[in-house]
Structure 1
Amino acid sequence: MELSNNPRSRGHEEAPPALLPDLSQVKNSSFSAAQQQGYCATIFLRRKDKLEKTQQKCIAIFALLCCFAVLLVLIFSSVDIWGDSEDGITEENCRTDCRIVLMETIPEDLQQHLNARPNLPLFVGFHTLLDQAKHSIQIVSPVWNLRPSEKEPIQSTGRQGHLLFQRLLNLKSRGVKLKIVSNLTNSAEQKILATHNAEIHLVNMTAFTRGGLHSSFWIVDRTHFYVGSADMDWRSFSKRKELGLMVYNCSCLALDLHRVFSFYWQLHDRDYIPSIWSRRVTALYGRHQALQLELNNTPAVAYVSTSPDLFCAKERTRDVDAINHVMQSAKTFIFISVMDYLPLVSRRLRGASVTRYWSPLDEMIREAVVLRGIKVRLLISFWKNTHPLTFNFVTSLKSLCMQPYNCSLEVRFFSHKPQKDDIQHGLNHNKYMLTENALYIGDHNWVGDEFSNNGGVGLVVQMKNDEGKIMEQVKAAFERDWTSPYSKNLLGNKDRYNKYKHFHQVET
C-alpha cells in the first residue's frame, strides 16, 4: 500500500473553508486595533504634555505677578512721595542764584577776649528763617531742649532758646506746617509741639547701627536752609561756641537736602533699612556731579553728603569721601576745627568691646602733609570728655614734621574754664574744615564711631576761584580762634597736658 504525500491522506481532514478564519483579515484587524491604541496613547500624551505646559505657564505667570506685586509694595511702602510736588519746586525750575551767610554763637564771656568782629548770631539766623517761612519748616535735630531748666534763669542764659520755642509753637496760627525728625527720645518739648500740629517722626538709630542721629539742619519752603553744629538746645545760642551756614533762595540745593529729610522721615517706626528705595531719595548732586550755582554772585559748586554708609542713598556722597574731596582741593593749607579727634572705632562682639584703628581721616591728613606739602592746622576742643588717646594720636601726627623733614602740621586745643554746673559752657562745638577755596561743614566730630554709626549730614561748598567772601569769613573765624588766649599748645609737654586734664576734672 502506497503512502500518499498528500496531508489529507494522513488522517487529517481539511476544515471546511467557511470554518477557517481569513488570515489576512486577522492581521488587518490586529494592526487596526494596535494602530488605534497607539493613536489614543499619542493623543493622551499630547494632551498631558499640553496640560503640563499650560500649568507651568500659569505657575510662571502667577509667580511673576506675585513678584511684581511685592516689588510695588516694597517701592511704595519704603518711601512715599510726600511733599515732592506740593509747592511746585522741581529739578527743572529750582533756583541756583543763592545767598550764603556765616552764623556763629560765641558766649559773652568769650567775646571780650576774641580779637575779631563776631559774625551774625545764630539765633538771628533762625529767626530770619522763621520770618521767611510761608508753607513748611522741616527740622532735624538730635536734641530738643530749647527751654532751660528752672535752675537757669530765662532772662540771663536761655532767653534765645525760649523765644525760638515760642515762635515754633506759633507756626500753627500762621498755617505753616512743622515737620520734625529726631532721635528716639522722650522729649517733653516734642510732645508740646505735637499738640500744636507739629508732625514728629523718631528714628531708632540703635536698631540700625547702635548709634544716634546727629544730623542738624533746617529746610524752609524747600528754598532756604541751615546746616551747622548747633542743635535745638538753648546752650547752642548762649553757652556753646557754634558755627553754621544759612543759605537763602537756593531751592536746587534745598531740594536735595529735602531728599535726605525724606529718607529720615520714612525710618519712623522701622527697625530696618528697606532694600529698595524710591528714586525720590536718590541724590540730585554729589562729588562727581556737583550743583553749579552762584553764591553771593560768585560762581561755585556744592553738594550734600551723608553718613553712615547704610544711610547713603543711591548717588549720595559719603561724608568721608566729601572730606577727602575738600582735602584734595587744597593747594597750600587745610584748617580743621572739631570738638573731638579720635581715629578709633569700637564694636561689641559676643558681649565684649573691641576697639580698632579707623584710618580714613588720619591717613588723609598724613598724605596731605607728607606727600603734598600742605600746611595743616588742627584745632580740637579740650574738655572733660576729651579721650586720653587723643593726645597720643595728635602727637603721632605732629611727629611727621620733626626735623629734618620739612613740613607743617600744628595742633592746638581750645580750652575754656567751664562752670561747675555745666561742662559745656564755653565749649568749642564747631565741626568744619577749610581750604583756600573749599569748605566742608558737618555734624560729626572726627571720631571713627561717629562716621561709622551715627547719622550725619555735611555740606561741601567749593568756589571756582579764590575770591569767595564766605571763605574769607570762615578763615578769619578760624584764625581768630587759633590765635585767641583759649588756644593752647599741649603737645610736647605732657606735664602741662596732665595739668589741664586734672583742672577740667576737678572743676566739673
Structure 2
Amino acid sequence: MAGPTTQEPVKTQQKCVAIFALLCCFAVLVVLIFSSVDIWGDNEDGITEENCSKNCRIVLVENIPDGLYLSMDGRRHLPLSVGFHELLDQAKHSVEVVSPVWDLNSWDVETMPSTAKQGQLLFQRLLSLKSHGVKLKIASSLNNSAELKTLAANSAEVHFVNMTALTKGGLHSSFWVVDRKHIYIGSADMDWRSLSKRKELGVMAYNCSCLALDLHRVFSFYWQLHERDYIPSIWSKRVTALYGKHAALELQLNATQATAYVSTSPDLFCPKDRTRDVDAIYQVIQSARTFIFISVTDYLPLVNRSFRGTTVTRYWSPIDEMIREAVVLKGVKVRLLISFWKKTHPLTFNFVTSLKSLCMQLHNCSLEVRFFSHREQKDDIQYGLNHNKYMVTDNTFYIGNHDWVGSEFAVNAGVGLVVRMTNSVKDKGMTILEHLKAVFERDWRSRYAKNL
C-alpha cells in the first residue's frame, strides 16, 4: 500500500512542471505574436494602405557635371541638387535618409568650381531641419563619419547598421523618405561629388504616400537593425512589404496609369512579401517586348567571397543568363552602356565580348555594348563618371542602387524601384518612361560612348 501513496506526489509534481512549462511556452508565444505585430514598429502618422495617396507627380533628377557636353533636346531634367532642396522645402515632420557615403563638405572646396559647394549647402540645410521642427533620421553603416557625428550632435537620430557582422557587405542603399509622402531613389550618395563632378540619375515622387509608406518600411527595417549583429527571426508587421512583383501598387504618375513596387537586396534583407532586386530585374527583362536599355557603372557577373583569409571568386549567372535569354530566345534588342574608368575590372571586357558573340550569324539578334568614358582630373574625384544604375524597356523601368556586379547583390544592401506603364495615356506627350528612354539614347549617341 505504500507504493502508490509514494508515487502520487511524484505524479502531481510532474503535472505541475508540465503545466508550468506549457504556461511558459504560451507566454513566449504571446510575446512573439505581439512582437511580430507591432512591438518594434513606430507610428506611421495615420497613413495606411487604405487612405494613402496614389495620384503622384514623378520627375527625373540628374546631375550632369560642367564640361560634360550632352545634347539635351530641350528636355533638361531637374538638377539633382535642386531636387534635394525641393524635398527639404516639402518637409514638415520627418526626413529619413540612407546613403553609403557621407562626404558633403569638401575640405579643398575653395579650389573647386562653385558647383562643388552644393554639398556644403545641402549639409547646412540638413543641419537646419531641427530649427524647423523636422526630425532627421539616418541609417548608416559608417561608424566613424565626422559628418554623421555633427548631425547627431544637432539632434539628428543616427542608427548604425553593422553590415560587416550581418552580411560582410555594405549599406549601399541610397534613398530619402520625406513625411512619408515624398521619396527619392537613385544613384547619388550624400557626397559632394554626386552634386558636382559625377553624372547621376534618380527619380523623385511627390505626394505619393502609398509608395512612400512602403519605402519607409525598408527604412524601418534598417532602423531596427541598430547595433545588432544578427537578423531577427521575428519582425514587426511594419517592415513587411506592402507591394511586390505579384501585387504591385496601382497608381497614377503624372496622370498616366502605372504600377510600381520597391525591391531590396541581399536575400537576408527581404522580409515577408518583399521582392528581391534580382527578381525585380528578371521581371522587367521578361516583360520587355522590343528593347532593353541598361546603363550601369560596372557590369561583372562574379561574386568574391572571403573564406578563412582566402578570397574565392565564382561565376554569378542570374542577370547574365537573363540577358542571353532575352536576346536569343525572345529577339529583344539589348543595349548595354557601361562606364570605363580606373576601377573597371579587366574581366568586364571578356564577359561583354561573350554576350556580343551571341548574335554571330543569328538573324533578328541585336546586342550592343558601349563604354561611357570621360577624362578624370583626379582619381578621387571621378570627374564625369557615369554613375547611373538603371534599365528601361518599352513598358517598364528599374532604377536601383547597385551596379550589376554579383558581389553587390549577394552581400550589399540596396533598393530598387520598378515602374510599369499600363496604358498609352501620355502627360504632355511624354511619359516618365519615355523621358528615361530619351536620356539613355542621348548618352548612347554622345561623344563619350565608345564601342568595345
TM range (shorter): over 0.9
For 2:434, the equivalent position in structure 1 comes to: 472
For 1:249, the equivalent position in structure 2 comes to: 207
Structure 1 residues 52 and 297: CA distance shift in structure 2, 3 A: farther
Structure 1 residues 63 and 402: CA distance shift in structure 2, 3 A: same
For the residues of structure 1 that align with 2:432 and 2:16, how far apart are their CA atoms? Answer: 65
Question: How far did 1:426 drift?
Answer: 0.3
For 2:241, the equivalent position in structure 1 comes to: 283
Structure 1 residues 323 and 404: CA distance shift in structure 2, 3 A: closer
Cα deviation, 1:226-272, whole Å, max 9, x if unaligned, reads 00101100111110000001001111111111111111001111110
**Residue identity matched to 2:142:** L
Question: Paired residue for 1:84, among 39, 43, 56?
Answer: 43
| Structure of higher RCO (CA pairs closer than 8 Å, 6+ residues apart) | 2
For the residues of structure 2 that align with 1:283 and 1:171, how far apart are their CA atoms? Answer: 29
**Residue identity matched to 2:174:** S
For the residues of structure 2 that align with 1:391 and 1:421, how far apart are their CA atoms? Answer: 22
Cα deviation, 1:169-212, whole Å, max 9, x if unaligned, reads 11111110000011133111111111110000111111111110
For the residues of structure 2 that align with 1:412 and 1:222, how far apart are their CA atoms? Answer: 39
Question: How far did 1:52 drift?
Answer: 4.0
Question: How far did 1:65 drift?
Answer: 3.3
TM-score of the two chains, using structure 2 as the length reference: 0.94
For 1:352, the equivalent position in structure 2 comes to: 310
Question: How far did 1:95 drift?
Answer: 1.0
Q: Secondary structure at the match of 2:83?
A: helix
For the residues of structure 2 that align with 1:261 and 1:464, how far apart are their CA atoms? Answer: 28
Question: How far did 1:423 drift?
Answer: 4.8
Aligned residues: 447
Residues 130 and 155, structure 2, Cα contact 8 Å, conserved in 1 = yes
Question: How far did 1:139 drift?
Answer: 0.4
Question: How far did 1:74 drift?
Answer: 5.7
For 2:448, the equivalent position in structure 1 comes to: 486
Cα deviation, 1:395-443, whole Å, max 9, x if unaligned, reads 0000000114440000000000110354511000000011111011000
For the residues of structure 1 that align with 2:244 and 2:71, how far apart are their CA atoms? Answer: 40
Residues 95 and 250, structure 1, Cα contact 8 Å, conserved in 2 = yes
Cα deviation, 1:146-182, whole Å, max 9, x if unaligned, reads 1112355466242211111111111111110000011
Structure 1 residues 404 and 253: CA distance shift in structure 2, 3 A: closer
Question: How far did 1:48 drift?
Answer: 5.1
Question: How far did 1:82 drift?
Answer: 4.5
**Residue identity matched to 1:292:** E
Residues 41 and 237, structure 2, Cα contact 8 Å, conserved in 1 = no
For the residues of structure 1 that align with 2:6 and 2:309, how far apart are their CA atoms? Answer: 60
**Residue identity matched to 2:244:** G
For 1:398, the equivalent position in structure 2 comes to: 356
- Mapping of 1:104-123 within 5 angstroms? 104-111=62-69, 117-123=75-81
Question: How far did 1:84 drift?
Answer: 2.6
Say yes or no: does 1:200 pair with 2:158: yes
Residues 75 and 277, structure 1, Cα contact 8 Å, conserved in 2 = no
Question: How far did 1:76 drift?
Answer: 6.8
For 1:28, the equivalent position in structure 2 comes to: none
- Mapping of 1:267-278 within 5 angstroms? 267-278=225-236
Structure 1 residues 73 and 234: CA distance shift in structure 2, 3 A: farther
Question: Paired residue for 1:415, among 336, 353, 373?
Answer: 373
Greater radius of gyration (CA) = 1
Structure 1 residues 334 and 178: CA distance shift in structure 2, 3 A: same
Structure 1 residues 146 and 80: CA distance shift in structure 2, 3 A: farther
Q: Secondary structure at the match of 2:68?
A: helix
Q: Secondary structure at the match of 1:109?
A: coil
For 1:316, the equivalent position in structure 2 comes to: 274
Question: How far did 1:459 drift?
Answer: 0.6
Structure 1 residues 404 and 112: CA distance shift in structure 2, 3 A: closer
CA RMSD of aligned residues (A): 1.9
Question: How far did 1:115 drift?
Answer: 6.0
Q: Secondary structure at the match of 2:204?
A: strand
Q: Secondary structure at the match of 2:357?
A: helix
Say yes or no: does 1:460 pair with 2:385: no
For 1:150, the equivalent position in structure 2 comes to: 108
For the residues of structure 2 that align with 1:112 and 1:330, how far apart are their CA atoms? Answer: 27
Structure 1 residues 297 and 56: CA distance shift in structure 2, 3 A: farther
Question: Paired residue for 1:190, among 148, 153, 167?
Answer: 148
- Mapping of 1:430-445 within 5 angstroms? 430-445=388-403
For the residues of structure 2 that align with 1:156 and 1:115, how far apart are their CA atoms? Answer: 26
Structure 1 residues 225 and 80: CA distance shift in structure 2, 3 A: farther
Question: How far did 1:385 drift?
Answer: 0.2
Question: Paired residue for 2:188, among 230, 233, 236?
Answer: 230
Q: Secondary structure at the match of 2:56?
A: strand
Say yes or no: does 1:380 pair with 2:342: no
Cα deviation, 1:272-319, whole Å, max 9, x if unaligned, reads 001111221111111111111111111111111000000000110000
**Residue identity matched to 1:371:** L
Say yes or no: does 1:139 pair with 2:101: no
Identity across matched positions, percent: 72
Q: Secondary structure at the match of 1:472?
A: helix
Q: Secondary structure at the match of 1:84?
A: coil
Q: Secondary structure at the match of 2:341?
A: coil
Residues 58 and 204, structure 2, Cα contact 8 Å, conserved in 1 = yes
Q: Secondary structure at the match of 1:108?
A: coil
Cα deviation, 1:345-377, whole Å, max 9, x if unaligned, reads 111223211111000000000000000000000
Question: How far did 1:444 drift?
Answer: 0.3
Q: Secondary structure at the match of 2:16?
A: helix
Residues 374 and 385, structure 2, Cα contact 8 Å, conserved in 1 = yes
Say yes or no: does 1:327 pair with 2:289: no
- Mapping of 1:207-226 within 5 angstroms? 207-226=165-184
**Residue identity matched to 2:441:** E
Say yes or no: does 1:367 pair with 2:325: yes
For 1:428, the equivalent position in structure 2 comes to: 386
Structure 1 residues 317 and 420: CA distance shift in structure 2, 3 A: same
Residues 241 and 427, structure 1, Cα contact 8 Å, conserved in 2 = yes
Say yes or no: does 1:96 pair with 2:96: no
Q: Please, which runs of 5 or more residues in structure 1 have no aligned partner?
A: 1-39, 491-508
Higher helix fraction (1 or 2): 1
